[in-house]
Amino acid sequence: MALRVLAFARLRELLGFGERSLDVGSSATLEDIWTSLTASSPEAVRMRASTRFARNGVIVDGATRVADGDEIALLPPVGGG
């Protein structure tokens, strides 16, 4: 399955992309995708507890399974205002 993954702010810097495509297996969850994308960044791994996931513009939890064509977003702690 092909996904589009968005990363913002500090996660964008640590993971080295703001947007990329990603091929994953058919039963992948968001937690699986997080684990795979952050494997080479200990700082990103430490941000897991404060990071939220969005799937197609809706906030969801890590157990959520993805579907072909999904837009996944990795959202670190927000700082708007």
Report which residue type is found at 67.
Answer: A
Q: Of the listed pieces 22-30, 33-41, 60-68, 69-77, which binds other proteins according to CB under 8 A?
A: 69-77
Q: Of the listed pieces 6-14, 24-32, 38-46, 61-69, which binds other proteins according to CB under 8 A?
A: 6-14
Handedness of CA 6, 8, 14, 17 (dihedral sign): positive
71 within 8 A of 2, measured Cβ to Cβ? no
64 within 8 A of 31, measured Cβ to Cβ? no
Window 49-68: residues binding other proteins (CB under 8 A): 50, 54, 57
Where does this chain bind other proteins (CB under 8 A)? 6, 8-10, 12, 50, 54, 57, 73, 75-81
